[in-house]
Structure 1
Amino acid sequence: MSDLVIPGAEEVLPLNVFTEKAYLDYSMYVILDRALPHIGDGLKPVQRRIVYAMSELGLKSTAKFKKSARTVGDVIGKFHPHGDSAAYEAMVLMAQSFSFRYPLIDGQGNWGSQDDPKSFAAMRYTESRLTKFSEVLLSELGQGTVDWQPNFDGTLDEPVVLPAQAPSVLLNGTTGIAVGMATDIPPHNLREVIDATILLLDKPNSSVEDLCEFIQGPDMPTDAEIVTPREDIISMYKTGRGSIKMRARWETEDGDIVVSSLPHQVSGNKILEQIAQQMQAKKLPMVADLRDESDHENPTRLVIVPRSNRIDVEGVMNHLFATTDLERNYRINMNVIGIDGRPAVKPLNTMLGEWLEYRAETVRKRLQHRLDWVNRRLHLLDGVLIAYLNLDEVIHIIRTEDKPKQVLMERFELSEEQANYILDTRLRQLARLEEMKIRGEQEELAVEKEKLEGLLGSERKLKTLIKKELKAVAKEYGDDRRSPIVTRAESKAFSESDLLGSDPVTVVLSDKGWIRAAKGHDIDPNGLNYKAGDSFKLFVKGKSNQSVMMIDSTGRSYSLPAHTLPSARGQGEPITGRLNPPSGAAIEALIMGNDDQSVLLGSDAGYGFIAKLSDLQTKNKAGKALLSLPAGAKVLTPRFVTITEETYLIAVSNEGRMLVFPIAELPVLARGKGNKVISIPSARVQSREEFMIDVVAFVPGQSLKVWAGKRHLAMKLSDMEHYIGERGRRGHKLPRGFQRVDRLEVV
């Protein structure tokens, strides 16, 4: 590594050491003097310098507006040697009522809008002055409350921190990016913050939960709702980190959706653009039109027109909250420069506690400064009184002596300060002074001195004073909360199936494995046109926004969205183009429905279980293992079932054995072989001598038809007592003539 010789320095540093030191110095500068706010006044250096420069220009809330360029010139010329655009942008931010909860600058002209905060006019056009609220930061500035530091060229002094009368760091919040750290402090309501501060003043050991009885959460400069759960807000205040979620407020007017307030720093134009993009992409078929009806009386009024009055507007808004900036997350990172001069992420109680320490020290300095002035004034009045009582002699000494100050000091035992004050007083004023006036002022100052000494000597009295001043600030500048904190359900975007129409469809599968979907449920699958040598095999009725579930001969399940299937006007397409089943496997069952419906699955070996239809769902072209088949067994047709205490399952074998048992005895599984439904010897299943024909669900009031050829046997629950038993039993034989059962039918 080469060495670096620093011009004018004797020390030679290795380049890596110099680079590390230089970067560290730069990092500390950015952290402490650029990006992070101080806990005392809640301002970053550029903001503090702007406010101070405006106060020095006399731009109080009662003054006339002055060109912003004049202020920016003073700021960058005297205190902040950086770009004028950066200083002006910081100034604009403090003037925007939609950016700052309690603006510090009163602007005249174009200072941007919520739709486009950076659309403000150039500084040569706008005019500005401080707001009345800025007095919270500035009113005690000349009372010995702050430390001063030289400006960048050492020609002027500037305040290190402003003497804030309220916890401004929480009131307006701030964002900043330093080196290796950042800050994101949200705005808060002044009344809530001061109430919590007073609680901490009275009870220094108050917990975050105690403080949150007053501070409900952040209070943004917008009427949008905060939907973050209370426990998350308290956790954020405990750790100093977290996030806040805001949601736009809306209502319906004549069937239209009207958005009346947006989350903090969200543009209405951007919202309309986001919704329009979804409409163009056909992801919002339920929305017919958009309008922006915002004006001076209604700064935010976005109108969303549903396609019909049957549209679920709650569902539409939930989707928009999830997919647009109508709902927005804000990162919280309460990183500030503490009273020790070090940056740190602080919980709420620590932050308010440190601010109270800062405030107590500020008030002590103010009181001490006033006490010093009172003592000095009393001291001067003592000298003036002596001069008044000996006026002729004083005048004689001044007229005749070469060094009257020394003579006065020796003759009347005056201090140098008193002697200078007497000599600086005009004779005309001295002659007019009256002893009663001097003594009256002395008495008033003596009373004030006693009061000041009492305040400085008593922690209790000092706390009472701080509390009184905090209440005065809350009364003067406090307002109601703007951002209500409410409990709302989690927003959820529409799925692809939600966006599709729920039109009835019939999915048809041919014997050769060609699949298609026909509109409606009144389709005759046998009457459709099939390829030569092909014929109808299976069909299922469902809706266009559902998937068709398939089970093959090996027990694997597959699913395909119904709306993607080819029309039944043609002959369809081979299912192997969409799926990749095992060699030799064929689709044996189709089923469509809602994901939460219960399905009875089983094999003709006498095993089965209950699953949710969603358990059959898969995006894998090769499917998923669903049903384990014993040797020689085949898949039974899946059936929807309703699980109640009164539901029974009826299983019948091809040899006429029937078993009836409560559905609760069969387990609910996601996959597997299932449990034994009816007992059939495995050897007879493999040889196909005996197998389970079907298993169906049955509730009292229904009728069961057992078919054997063209004959059928109708049975009600009262006729089945002989066949009721425990799950997995052999069952009892049906009457003669039904020893070869073909199928079961429940009506």
Structure 2
Amino acid sequence: MARRGSTAPPPPDFEENIVDVDVSEEMRGSFLEYAYSVIYSRALPDARDGLKPVQRRILYSMNEMGLRPDRGHVKCARVVGEVMGKLHPHGDSAIYDAMVRMAQPWAMRMPLVDGHGNFGSLGGDDLPAAMRYTEARLSREAMLLVESIDEDTVDFRPNYDGQETEPEVLPAAFPNLLVNGASGIAVGMATNMAPHNLGEVIAAARHLLEHPEATLEELMQFVPGPDLPTGGLIVGLDGIRDAYAKGRGTFRTRATARIENVTPRRKGIVVTELPYGVGPERVIAKIKDLVNAKKLAGISDLKDLTDRSTGLRLVIEVKNGFNPEGVLAELYRLTPMEETFGINNVALVDGQPRTLGLRDLLQVYVDHRIDVVRRRSEFRRRKRQDRLHLVEGLLVALLNIDEVIQIIRGSDDSAQAKQRLMQVFELSEIQAQYILDTPLRRLTRFDRLELEKESEQLTKEIAELTAILESDKKLRRVVSRELAAVAKQYSTPRRTVLLESSGQAAAAAVPLEVADEPCLVLMSATGLLARTTGADPLPAEGARIPHDVLTAVVPATTRGDVGLVTSAGRMIKVEVLDLPALPSGAAPPSLAGGAPISEYAALQDGETVVGLGALSADGPGLALGTEQGVVKRVVPDYPANRDEFEVITLKEGDRVVGAVQLLSEDHDLVFITDDAQLLRYGAANVRPQGRAAGGVAGIKLSAGARVIWFGAVDPSRESRVVTVSGSSSALPGTQSGGIKVADYADFPPKGRATGGVRSHRFLKGEDVLLMAWAGPAPVRACSSTGQPLEIPATLGRRDGSGERLTTPVAAVGGPIGPQSPPARPAEPESPAQ
């Protein structure tokens, strides 16, 4: 026991009154009062409108201040002062914090405050500006919560000092608690409710209105899961089902990320949506800590490109040699890019905290909305009945206007006139007073017609309202119709994707580092490089490639190197991992996903890449042909510690026109000159030389002639020779020329360093070959933009003339790759379209 009171002796006229109090009872009672105050007045939302007291007071005060969406913004300090002075006797920071949260689109699925200024950032790392700087007004959605509040739809109670009144709950024209969710910590309990999609929640509420006995499974057909403001993914739905059934459960939220080519040479992970409540700064800090601690490998750079126009965008660059899918799986496992959300649906129902499932939450809201519409209908009917009563009295006065005027003129005062009108025409006191207050200018024949029309309209509306109030089915239909109108105007598409399974097993199967597997490196006519993810994904014989053509392909390994052979006789080493990868096992229709050669090689003026070379010591090696007719086979003893080196010593004014990686010494080496001479002979006729050698004579050129194409052809396969003729005096790219397709077998092999045979007969105005190519059928051609061109389907004679083209040919190619030779058809195949 304890004694409370003053120990000093009281004055003589003071009667001592010491009360003995049990400390345990006092503490228990005081703590219960405090706990009840926190639970009921601060921390937990009301299940009917989904608002805590401070949120309700903010919205009600802003509505009373006229801060509607069609009005201008006002300083938040004015709103905070109004709320604190009249309704909420707590600190201004608590009021302003609640106001800020209602204005944040990443916190609320449907923001209730339209903020103007700095209201913070996702994750809370950027704090909102002070209330003296920011401005606000009600959002369009917030007007739905306070709609018809002046029609006796909800009860009001005195404020803290009894000088004002405040609503106990708002009318709430949509299920705000489910749509926007809630979070709060009370005494001995807490609430954490996930936001949902407005259209889905209203659809479930309307179903419950029409089918009061609906089961949870039926309602979950409309509400499959939360719809978070920040989007993202929800993986695993078992916890959501538990929460909807019992009011408690957990689920995992995951960031939305995709793998892109962030640079032409590297892939990266682009994050566009984060889990609910997670900011980019938190993710960035965690990734940096893990990389510095060497707990997360494969990341070379991280950039935050988030802005107001494009939204969230985190770019995580992946190192070469690492699987982006594997790195992404590690990011989900180790960083806040995957978080757990615990649902705890605790809300106030009739002033008592309860844990509610989905059906309970919808039922509480539906019951509240039915009560609101019923009270609103009663209010409107009462107002119309009062107005009809006045209109009927005024019509009596208009029908007896002369007698009414005589009674008024003969009365001593207004009180006597009112009594005489009531006696003579059997009017109520309200009707008599209304007649006396009506100006004479309203007692015209036109006003009589208007009053009769108004009387009919009021009678009709009263009958409709009465029918609604007397029929529960019609009342529910009105509520359902109003909810449908809200959904039609304000619902938005779902942002969060629901996944039944997390896919962790599949992610775990993805290796972190890229394996050193066989692949092919490809180069296209438009100057793009790429690699395959398999050893042989090229199209089958005769397959169509609609855009671009492949001009070179070499075998390699994923973690190996290839060489770019230039017209200056240089070989530039490129890591295969730096090249963009094409889909595994798919025939590449183009190298549109490839990277330009300029990203990998610094070329001099006039220097071009003419082919690809493998850097392995296996095989017959690289074959080169120059413009002046020199041929060389290079011994594959390339230096391992140099990024570029010479593979041929060129004579003054000479340049390499073709480079090809030989697959066999049984293949032919082919020269085609601009004066339409073609020479073919076996690659075995050329002895391999070291890198410093200058090669040997490959073709004997006539005076003024030069080589325009050099390559290798497999004589065992059905092959074609394509030649394009034109005039040497025309500007490059300005003429289409004539094109001829001939059978490669029609050209006889000859010895090395001989003159070859004629491959094209020039017509009038033609004196030079603009382009030539030899290779396996079918033939494909493209323009300088990579678009396919139609070429002759029939074969011409070996030394015949060509057919006119309407569009200049930029490149010619065929089905490159280790395919088996097909049977020779009776007629050549049509060109690719």
2:178 paired residue among 162, 170, 184? 170
Residue in structure 2 matched with residue 313 of structure 1 by the alignment? 324
In structure 1, the residue matched to 2:288 is 276
Secondary structure of 2:102's counterpart equals helix
Does the 8 Å contact 2:398/2:443 carry over to 1? yes
Deviation, 1:135, is 1.9
Q: Measure, in 2, the Cα distance between the counterparts of 1:502 and 1:118.
A: 42
Summarize the Cα distance change of 1:8–1:368 in structure 2 as closer, same or farther, 3 Å threshold.
farther
2:150 alignment counterpart: 142
The whole-number CA distance in structure 1 between the counterparts of 2:442 and 2:126 is 58
The residue number in structure 2 matching 1:475 is 488
Residue identity opposite 1:219 in structure 2 = D
For 1:240, the equivalent position in structure 2 comes to: 247
Matched, 1:419 2:427: no
Alpha carbons of 1:478 and 1:5: their partners in 2 closer, same or farther (altered >3 Å)? farther
Measure how far apart 1:155 and its partner are.
1.1
**Matching residue of 1:297:** 309
Query: Structure 2 residue aligned with 1:462, among 470, 475, 486?
Result: 475
- Cα deviation, 1:29-60, whole Å, max 9, x if unaligned, reads 11111111111111001000100111011111
Please give the residue correspondences for 1:432-471 in structure 2 after superposition, counting only pairs within 5 Å: 434-471=447-484
Alignment of 1:711-726 (within 5 A): none
Q: Which runs of 5+ in 2 are unaligned?
A: 7-14, 262-266, 517-833
Matched, 1:331 2:332: no
What secondary structure sits across from 1:196 in the alignment? helix
SS of match in other structure, 1:434: helix
State the 1:8 CA deviation. 14
Question: Which of 241, 255, 259 is equivalent to 1:252?
Answer: 259
Q: What is the distance in 2 between the residues matched to 1:357 and 1:8?
A: 56
> Residues 493 and 212 of structure 1: is their aligned pair in 2 closer, same or farther, counting only changes over 3 Å?
closer
Partner of 1:2: 2
What's 2:297 paired with?
Answer: 285
Q: 1:349 to 1:380 in 2, by over 3 A?
A: same
Checking the alignment, whether the CA contact within 8 Å between 2:4 and 2:19 is kept in structure 1 is: no
Task: Report the counterpart of residue 196 of structure 2 in structure 1.
Answer: 188
Shift of 1:352: 0.7
CA-CA distance at 1:267 after TM superposition: 1.2
Matched, 1:353 2:363: yes
Partner of 2:166: 158
List per-residue Cα deviations over 1:322-379 (Å, max 9, x = no partner).
Answer: 22111111111111111x2211001111111121111111110010111111111111
The change in CA–CA distance for 1:384 and 1:331 in structure 2 (over 3 A counts) is: same
CA distance in 1, matches of 2:33, 2:419: 54
Residue 238 of structure 1 aligns with an amino acid whose one-letter code is A
Residues of 2 paired with 1:357 and 1:5: CA distance? 52
Match of 1:377 in 2: 387
Is contact 1:260-1:302 (8 Å) kept? yes
Q: 1:215 aligns with which of 217, 223, 231?
A: 223
Distance 1:407 1:126 in 2: 62
2:207 is aligned to: 199
What is the deviation of 1:435? 2.1
Matched residues in 1 for 2:468 and 2:290: separation? Answer: 65
Aligned residues: 498
Distance 1:247 1:9, change over 3 A: farther
Alpha-carbon distance in 1 for matches of 2:165, 2:435: 32
Deviates more, 1:410-419 or 1:465-474: 410-419
Matched-pair contact (CA < 8 Å) for 1:322–1:493: no
1:101 and 2:112 correspond = no
Letter matched to residue 305 of structure 1: E
TM-aligned CA distance change 1:500 to 1:86, over 3 Å: same
User: Following the alignment from structure 2 to structure 1, what is the Cα–Cα distance between the partners of residues 506 and 200?
Assistant: 35
Q: Deviations over 1:507-537 (max 9, x none)?
A: xxxxxxxxxxxxxxxxxxxxxxxxxxxxxxx
Are the counterparts in 2 of residues 318 and 492 from structure 1 also a CA contact under 8 Å?
no
Shift of 1:433: 6.5
Q: Which amino acid in the other structure matches residue 241 of structure 1?
A: R
Specify whether residues 275 and 395 from structure 1 end up closer, same or farther in structure 2 by C-alpha distance, changes over 3 A only: same
AA paired with 1:421?
Y
RMSD: 2.7
Question: 1:489: which partner in 2?
Answer: 502
Cα distance in 2, alignment partners of residues 175 and 9 from structure 1: 47
CA contact (8 A) 1:250 1:260 kept: yes
1:485 aligned counterpart, secondary structure = strand
5+ residue gaps, structure 1: 504-747
Distance in 1, matches of 2:426 and 2:126, equals 68
Q: Report the AA paired with residue 250 of structure 1.
A: A
Contact 2:323 2:514 in 1 (8 A): no
**% identical aligned pairs:** 43
1:14 aligned to which of 8, 22, 38: 22
Q: Write out aligned runs for 1:652-671 (5 A).
A: none
For 1:380 and 1:252, how far apart are their aligned partners in 2?
73
Distance 1:4-1:430 versus aligned 2 partners, 3 A rule: farther
Task: Quickly say closer, same or farther: Cα 1:269–1:493, change in 2 above 3 A.
Answer: farther
Instruction: Give, in whole Å, the separation in 2 of the partners of 1:331 and 1:216.
Output: 17
How has the CA–CA distance of structure 1 residues 502 and 90 changed in structure 2, closer, same or farther, with 3 Å as cutoff?
A: same
What does residue range 279-678 of structure 1 map to in structure 2 within 5 Å? 279-308=291-320, 310-338=321-349, 340-399=350-409, 400-402=411-413, 403=415, 404-430=417-443, 434-489=447-502, 491=504
- Quote the residue 2:798 is aligned against: none
In structure 2, distance between residues paired with 1:414 and 1:16: 68
TM-score normalised by L of structure 2:
0.57
Report the 3-state secondary structure (helix = DSSP H, G, I; strand = E; otherwise coil) of the residue aligned with 1:260: strand
Preserved CA contact (<8 Å) 2:3 2:18: no
Q: 1:391 to 1:472 in 2, by over 3 A?
A: same
Distance 2:512 2:493 in 1: 41
1:431 Cα offset (Å): 5.4
CA deviation string 1:82-127 (max 9, x = no partner): 1111101100100011111000111111111115365111111111
Structure 2 CA distance for aligned equivalents of residues 65 and 468 of structure 1 = 32
- 1:470/1:312 Cα in 2 relative to 1: closer, same or farther (>3 Å)? same
Task: Tell me the equivalent position of 2:232.
Answer: 224
1:237-293 Cα deviation digits (max 9, x unpaired): 001001121101111112111111111111111111111111111112322222222
Given that residues 3 and 19 in structure 2 are in contact (C-alpha distance below 8 angstroms), is that contact kept between their aligned partners in structure 1?
Answer: no
In the superposition, relative to structure 1, how do residues 3 and 167 fare at CA in structure 2: closer, same or farther (>3 Å)? farther
**Aligned residues of 2:301 and 2:317 also touching (Cα < 8 A):** yes
| Amino acid of the structure 1 residue aligned with 2:502 | A
Deviations 1:691-723 (A, max 9, x none): xxxxxxxxxxxxxxxxxxxxxxxxxxxxxxxxx
1:211-242 deviations in whole A, cap 9, x for unaligned? 11110101110121111x22331121001001
- Quote the offset at 1:166 in angstroms: 1.4
- Counterparts of 1:732-743 in structure 2, within 5 Å, are none
Quote the offset at 1:388 in angstroms: 2.1
Tell me which amino acid in the other structure corresponds to 2:253: M
Are the equivalent residues in 1 in contact too, given 2:326–2:513 (CA < 8 A)?
no
**Whole-angstrom CA distance in 2 between matches of 1:477 and 1:413:** 52
- Distance, in Å, in 2 between the alignment partners of 1:11 and 1:206 is 58
Distance 1:78 1:429 in 2: 43
| C-alpha deviation, 1:481, in angstroms | 0.4
| Residue aligned with 2:239, SS | helix
